[in-house]
Structure 1
Amino acid sequence: MAGKTVLITGGTGGIGKATALGLAVLGARVAITGRNADRASRAAEEIRAVASAPVEVFIADLSSQQEVRRLADEVLNTLDRLDVLVNNVGGFWNTRRVTADGLEYTFALNHLAPFLLTNLLLERLKESRPARIITVSSGAQAMGRMDFPDLLAERAYSGQRAYNQSKLANVLFTYGLAARLSGTGVTANVLHPGVVATAFGAEDPGRMQEFLTPLVQRWMKTPEQGARTSIYLASAPELDNVTGRYFANSTPKKSSKRSYSQSDIDRLWHVSSALVGLESDSERSTNPP
């Protein structure tokens, strides 16, 4: 990874920090994002101490579209190339929350944030080709379904359903993105990191999570183990031309049947573009600048 620049969202702890550290050890110039400046600074120092590599830090709350856009501007002004984007940030909330944009929090952070950030950074990734976009999903995608009539859970909310839907959205987004990037030299893949022992969901856990986590924690992966697939997708030479695939344990797998629905892929892209204020492909072609 020497000479490569990698941006990892949610890189201040857990899988994200382990991914940043692993890629820095391989020689990459690493940039991480986080909400808390002190925590981000400590994470950067830890990475520098082990890898003796440069680490850039960007502070942003990715649940806010204004913050995502500000982050993208800062990244473009700071990083003259971007070889790998790792969309790692995400979370689980048992009770429904609303973002500054008036959107359901889980869908906004887990899907719309990487959707918007990736689109805003696409030209820099294309300029740096060959480049890679990696999105961290979850095995929960297999239980997800896109409830388009109530996408933001305004009628009924379940923390688990919202999470499952957002993780399915990560896969649908990746498949749609890979098709759009065909021939550009930029690949897009998505992964399940495994069940990892982190502070994931601790801010607002469900009752089942509170009960089960202490019981199964000893069998969970460490953050370092959970980061292995992200590191593999970011660095493995044999994946130069592999795109539009779902990985688990560094191995390509079949994702859920729903994730291959072309109508859902197209509909999600159109709806997401509208929710984040981006022109859809059709609008761009029919209304050229």
Structure 2
Amino acid sequence: MSMSVPAREVWKELRTNPLAKYGVATAVTAISLVLLRKWIAGGVCRSRIRLDGKTVVITGANTGIGKETARDLALRGARVVMACRDMRRGEKAASEVRRSTGNGNVVVRQLDLSSLASVREFASKLSATEDRLDILINNAGVMMCPRSLTEDGFETQLGVNHLAHFLLTMLLLDMLKSSAPSRVVNVSSIAHVGGKINFEDLFYNKTPYDSLVSYRQSKLANLLFSRELARRTRAYGVSAFALHPGVIRTELGRYVETRYPLLSALLRAPALLLMKTPKQGAQTTIYCAVTEGLEMHTGCYFSDCKLKEPAPEGKDDLAAMRLWDFSAKLVGYNEED
């Protein structure tokens, strides 16, 4: 079949006119970028469920995906407790959330996850001042920081990302049980892939410290904790979920930028295109917190608002039970707490 006259003329114009070529190339590039951004943005939580009368605690809620999660849940009518280390920044973020959502029931409480004393104080005050807890979102964390120790002598990444959240969850478990059906949402990462819980040297006192290896260990711990917590609390109506939020433009990567300044500078512009925004990165957290019927998937792993298969190391139930026992001993938790 021969080309129609108009089509031949258009093709001739494209071949001979540089401006036409440029225009087509620009249009194709623009469309490709839009499609790429849409793909990178990932899933969106479509639930319209209201949370009036519900209470939510979010750690690390003053910035990044924690703040966007707080904003979304406040819009749904929840009472939101923003657990933050820096009260000044926390109050500023809470003010912005109140103003943007019209929900005045957003409060800030101090929580320093590098201190178990702070965790215990936060849990004690919350139990004394709140009559229920429907959703606990363990969101705060550090990523690939230089080796350092918490107040209690734990390697910082495992101490902040896992051990402090383990203790916090245990201390608030009675509230979660009495408010059932309730949920615990642990922000893990795809970095759990290839991770290993080094039970013989959890804090790298004997082996050389590698910030990425340590980060992977802490994110694997988040996932294994979710599995074991789900197993232990399913009968009480408490569900637990772990998730990968995506690669996001937040303050979490500040240590990576410090460690690799030249590489970070070179990748800054591409990163704007290839990373999720905090609002996009919060979608799977929100999905796990509010989606109806998710209880049947307690203990599971999610990404882009979908159920995903974790790496084999993330399904090791023996390691999960062992990690639970190690964690309880390290933080000084027993059932009588």
Rg (Cα) greater in structure: 2
Tell me how far 1:2 sits from its aligned partner.
1.5
Tell me how far 1:207 sits from its aligned partner.
3.5
- Partner residue, 2:225: 173
- 1:61 aligns to 2:116 (yes or no): no
Against the structure 1 CA distance between its residues 210 and 67, is the aligned structure 2 distance closer, same or farther, given a 3 Å change threshold? Answer: farther
- 1:17 aligns to 2:84 (yes or no): no
Tell me how far 1:218 sits from its aligned partner.
2.2
Alignment of 1:145-184 (within 5 A): 145-155=196-206, 156-184=208-236
Alignment of 1:193-212 (within 5 A): 193-203=245-255, 205=257, 207-208=259-260, 211-212=263-264
Distance 1:210 1:42 in 2: 32
Distance 1:211 1:144 in 2: 24
91, 97, 112: which one aligns with 1:41:
91
- 1:252 aligns to 2:307 (yes or no): yes
Tell me how far 1:14 sits from its aligned partner.
0.2
* Residue segments in structure 1 that go unaligned for 5+ positions in a row: none
- Fraction of identical pairs, as percent: 43
Report the secondary structure of 1:177's partner residue: helix
Against the structure 1 CA distance between its residues 217 and 160, is the aligned structure 2 distance closer, same or farther, given a 3 Å change threshold? Answer: farther
- 1:4 aligns to 2:59 (yes or no): no
Tell me how far 1:205 sits from its aligned partner.
4.2
Tell me how far 1:125 sits from its aligned partner.
0.4
- 1:103 aligns to 2:158 (yes or no): no
- Partner residue, 1:135: 186
Aligned AA (1:253): K
Alignment of 1:221-236 (within 5 A): 221-236=276-291
The 8 Å contact of residues 146 and 255 in structure 2, kept in 1 or not, is answered as no
Report the secondary structure of 1:170's partner residue: helix
Tell me how far 1:216 sits from its aligned partner.
2.4
Against the structure 1 CA distance between its residues 254 and 59, is the aligned structure 2 distance closer, same or farther, given a 3 Å change threshold? Answer: same
Distance 1:245 1:125 in 2: 19
Structure 1 stretches of 4+ moved >3 Å: 203-210
Against the structure 1 CA distance between its residues 209 and 173, is the aligned structure 2 distance closer, same or farther, given a 3 Å change threshold? Answer: farther
Tell me how far 1:94 sits from its aligned partner.
3.4
Distance 1:217 1:210 in 2: 16
Report the secondary structure of 1:12's partner residue: coil
* Residue segments in structure 2 that go unaligned for 5+ positions in a row: 1-50
How large is the Cα RMSD of the aligned pairs? 1.7
Distance 1:206 1:101 in 2: 25
Q: Which of the pair is proportionally richer in helix? A: 2
Aligned AA (2:291): A
243, 246, 256: which one aligns with 1:191:
243
Distance 2:261 2:122 in 1: 32
